[in-house]
């Protein structure tokens, strides 16, 4: 049992413009009537049942959430037992042209508290762990750097030390690998709550100084190019200094990172597949014109250093064409399915829960119902659905499913 979906596009200002957007190109491929506006930003394609962008069945225009509620058996017993009658994940394609906000997502308990206190700001009571898989080279910030790196930046960047405050910065420099977390918390809070005029002044001093740096190694060490990109889009913003607290991550196509609750992060640029719990809860504190909840963000974060090796997620090989990214949450997992042209007919693995697939590249056909498969096509698959694919070219498909 499956149905083709018509999905929502979010035109956030940080998205890629016009035909440069992967999202826009997929939308146009899926719908010949879709006309790309070269003056618009196309940031996200949403596939799922979240009320801010619920998908519809293409043939009947029915709301997917309502259709699932009327046909609950499509979910599979494991989803119903764990999550009741609802799809537990939200599946996305992102095209990022400029940095998203310095942010974190609350765990379930905090999400419920924030929703009860400020439902106008925090739109639902659910947590929002995320998995991002790069489609093009994808850059972002994720988790606190090893403490040795943060100390080195504080030593080498006097403007950063000035924004944190001399006394706190020295305390962090004197900390050990065993007792740094509390002082790191204090330093990060001091940075994020520093008066805006002081941040702007110190940032401008720093930017002017880096313009005089000619040594390639020195420029690379403090990531001058990213610093100036952030400052150009968000002048005077404290988020520019956060670059020296969080890991700078580059994912090549097919590589993935998992963002658990309370982990600070910011996407910088590139295109990716993203899956998360069905939520839109974000606590922001920098690199954004939107509402900043600095105190909540600073109080909720995990202040443990995260080496890069712990951020990138390794998939499980399921068969010769399918690997599975399986994060430590029950809400979702994502399969990457690569079918070479030379492979011949391939049967998608039968899943015991409902899933959503999107064709990223290549063409083919379901051999049973003769459904054409091409980039941008999105299908909702009921539990235990079977699809036999005869591909005409190399085919790349991503599939979101519940991790139960």
Which residues are catalytic, by number?
284
CA atoms of 334 and 131, how far apart (whole Å): 8
CA atoms of 299 and 294, how far apart (whole Å): 9
Phi/psi of residue 380, nearest 5 degrees: -90, 125
SS3 content of the chain, % helix, strand, coil (to 5): 30, 30, 40
Q: Are 12 and 43 in contact (CB under 8 A)?
A: yes
Identify the burial level of 87 via C-beta atoms within 10 angstroms of its C-beta, where 0-12 means exposed, 13-18 middle and 19 or more buried: buried
Identify the burial level of 213 via C-beta atoms within 10 angstroms of its C-beta, where 0-12 means exposed, 13-18 middle and 19 or more buried: middle
- Looking at 31-164, list the stretches that DSSP marks H as alpha helix, in order from N- to C-terminal side: 64-70, 77-83, 108-117, 147-156, 158-164
CA-to-CA dists, residue 398 to 92, 336, 337, 361, angstroms? 10, 5, 6, 10
Q: Are 91 and 275 in contact (CB under 8 A)?
A: yes
DSSP 74: G
């Amino acid at each position: 049992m499956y149905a083709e979906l018509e999905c929502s596009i979010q035109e956030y200002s940080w998205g890629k413009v016009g035909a440069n957007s992967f999202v826009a190109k997929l939308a146009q491929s899926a719908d010949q009537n879709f006309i790309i506006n070269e003056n618009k930003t196309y940031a996200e394609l949403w596939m799922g049942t979240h009320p801010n962008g619920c998908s519809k069945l293409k043939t009947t225009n029915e709301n997917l959430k309502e259709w699932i509620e009327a046909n609950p058996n499509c979910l599979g017993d494991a989803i119903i037992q764990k999550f009741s009658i609802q799809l537990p994940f939200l599946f996305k394609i992102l095209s990022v042209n400029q940095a998203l906000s310095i942010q974190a997502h609350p765990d379930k308990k905090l999400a419920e508290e924030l929703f009860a206190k400020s439902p106008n700001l925090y739109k639902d009571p659910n947590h929002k762990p995320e998995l991002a898989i790069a489609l093009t080279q994808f850059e972002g910030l994720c988790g606190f750097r090893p403490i040795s790196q943060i100390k080195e930046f504080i030593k080498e960047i006097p403007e950063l030390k000035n924004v944190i405050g001399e006394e706190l910065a020295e305390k962090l420099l004197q900390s050990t690998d065993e007792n740094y977390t509390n002082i790191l918390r204090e330093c990060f809070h001091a940075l994020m709550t520093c008066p805006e005029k002081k941040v702007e002044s110190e940032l401008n001093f720093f930017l002017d100084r880096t313009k005089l740096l000619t040594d390639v190694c020195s420029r690379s060490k403090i990531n001058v190019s990213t610093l100036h990109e952030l400052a150009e889009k968000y002048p005077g913003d404290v988020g520019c200094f956060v670059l020296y607290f969080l890991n700078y991550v580059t994912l090549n196509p097919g590589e993935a990172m998992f963002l658990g609750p309370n982990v600070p992060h910011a996407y910088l640029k590139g295109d990716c597949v993203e899956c998360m719990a069905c939520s839109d809860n974000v606590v922001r504190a920098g690199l954004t014109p939107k509402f900043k909840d600095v105190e909540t963000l600073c109080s909720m974060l995990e202040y443990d250093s995260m080496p890069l090796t712990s951020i990138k997620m390794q998939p499980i090989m399921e068969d010769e064409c399918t690997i599975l990214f399986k994060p430590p949450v029950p809400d979702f997992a994502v399969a990457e399915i690569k079918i070479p042209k030379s492979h011949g007919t391939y049967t998608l693995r039968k899943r015991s829960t409902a899933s959503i697939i999107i064709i990223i590249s290549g063409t083919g056909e379901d051999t049973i119902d003769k459904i054409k498969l091409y980039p941008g096509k999105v299908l909702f698959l009921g539990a235990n659905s079977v699809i036999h694919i005869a591909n005409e070219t190399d085919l790349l498909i991503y599939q979101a499913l519940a991790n139960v």
